[in-house]
């Protein structure tokens, strides 16, 4: 496909989303359509979003509103626990599969990172469930139910991403071979230190994962970088935000190198 043809295809995809490709546009993809005759079009949309934006929203993903409300409620309950209860999970041990990260002051930038984050491995469940917090009592059940369905969403997205590259549906999954899953439960408290220049919930960053599937509540402030500009991601009920992680970009790079090498061999043999 020529560069001009590729740009036309991009414009057509943007039109199918009902918006121009411009600053502030965040693709919203209907995953339900992956199961019907429009699958090739939706696969193309996902591939385009990964290549040009590195993030997109998905709806009709199969996670019920009840499941989402349960995990958000459980997260809120955990961070309302007494400090002493939460601090049980603070550790410097790199071998621990569950860790609590607390807010801290960046002395160099004079910034306070106002974030509490409980991160732990979830898959396979039988290997880790006994390490998860037993308080609040609903946490283990809610995490297992939510992460089970998120795993299905992940596989459906990875299949579409593989297809968007012209590969077999299970290419990325096979390449990663039985990859794990982690959950990060986050709370962003109000910073009490008034002498600082400003407060951040989290530093600007990329994720080292394959993909990150994010469920946000209705508190504003979440932003993504698009064309060197920070774009607000408004809360749309019953949607998820999908981020392309560093590892997936590495896989894509390896794939392109392999394709270029293959083309080179065909050209000169």
Within-domain flag for 7 = no
Higher model confidence: residue 140 or residue 266?
Answer: 140
Span 135-181, pLDDT tens digits? 999 999 999 999 999 999 999 999 999 999 888 898 888 877 777 89
Within-domain flag for 127 = yes
Within-domain flag for 263 = yes
Task: Quote the distance between the C-alpha of residue 170 and its chain's center.
Answer: 20
Span 187-230, pLDDT tens digits? 988 766 555 555 566 777 788 888 999 999 988 788 888 878 88
Span 36-83, pLDDT tens digits? 999 999 999 999 999 889 899 999 999 999 999 999 999 999 999 999
Within-domain flag for 18 = no
129: domain CATH number?
2.60.120.330
Averaged pLDDT score across all residues of the chain: 82
Higher model confidence: residue 229 or residue 238?
Answer: 238
Within-domain flag for 187 = yes
Contact 242, 26 (CB under 8 A): no
Alpha-carbon distance of 49 to 42, in angstroms, equals 10
The tokens describing 126, both together, are 């039988």
The count of domains in the chain is 1
**pLDDT at residue number 163:** 93
**pLDDT at residue number 28:** 95
Contact 187, 116 (CB under 8 A): yes
Alpha-carbon distance of 177 to 97, in angstroms, equals 20
Residue 100: strand, helix, or coil? strand
Within-domain flag for 3 = no
Using DSSP bridges, classify how beta strands 116-123 and 104-106 pair: parallel, antiparallel or unpaired: unpaired
Among the residues of 167-230, which ranges form H helices?
171-176
pTM of the predicted structure, to 2 decimals: 0.81
**pLDDT at residue number 153:** 96
**Is residue 10 scored above 50 in pLDDT?**
no
- Residue 170: closest CA among 156, 150, 149, 191: 156
Alpha-carbon distance of 14 to 36, in angstroms, equals 21
Within-domain flag for 42 = yes
Which domain range does residue 118 map to?
25-268
Share of the chain above pLDDT 90, in %: 48
Task: Quote the distance between the C-alpha of residue 19 and its chain's center.
Answer: 23
- Residue 163: closest CA among 31, 32, 39, 265: 39
**Is residue 9 scored above 70 in pLDDT?**
no
**CB-facing half-sphere around the CA of 218: CA atoms within 13 A:** 5
- Other Cβ atoms closer than 10 A to 118: 22
Within-domain flag for 176 = yes
């Amino acid at each position: 496909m020529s560069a001009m043809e590729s740009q036309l295809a991009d414009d057509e995809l943007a039109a199918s989303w009902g918006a121009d490709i411009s600053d502030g546009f965040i693709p919203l993809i209907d995953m339900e359509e992956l199961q019907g005759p429009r699958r090739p079009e939706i696969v193309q949309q996902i591939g385009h979003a990964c290549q040009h934006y590195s993030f997109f929203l998905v709806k009709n993903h199969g996670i019920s509103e009840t499941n989402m409300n349960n995990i958000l409620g459980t997260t809120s309950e955990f961070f309302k626990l007494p400090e002493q209860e939460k601090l049980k999970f603070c550790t410097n041990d790199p071998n621990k599969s569950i860790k609590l990260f607390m807010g801290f002051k960046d002395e160099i930038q004079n910034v306070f990172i106002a974030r509490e984050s409980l991160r732990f491995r979830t898959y396979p469940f039988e290997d880790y469930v006994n390490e998860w917090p037993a308080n609040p009592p609903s946490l283990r059940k809610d995490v297992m139910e939510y992460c089970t369905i998120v795993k299905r969403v992940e596989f459906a997205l990875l299949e579409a991403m593989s297809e968007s590259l012209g590969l077999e549906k299970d290419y990325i999954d096979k390449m990663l071979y039985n990859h794990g899953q982690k959950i990060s439960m986050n709370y962003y408290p109000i910073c009490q230190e008034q002498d600082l220049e400003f407060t951040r919930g989290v530093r600007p960053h990329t994720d080292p994962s394959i993909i990150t599937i994010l469920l946000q509540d209705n508190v504003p402030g979440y932003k993504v970088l698009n064309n060197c500009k920070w774009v607000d991601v408004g809360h749309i009920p019953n949607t998820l935000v999908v981020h392309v992680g560093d590892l997936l970009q590495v896989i894509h790079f390896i794939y392109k190198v392999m394709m270029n090498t293959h083309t080179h061999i065909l050209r000169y043999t």
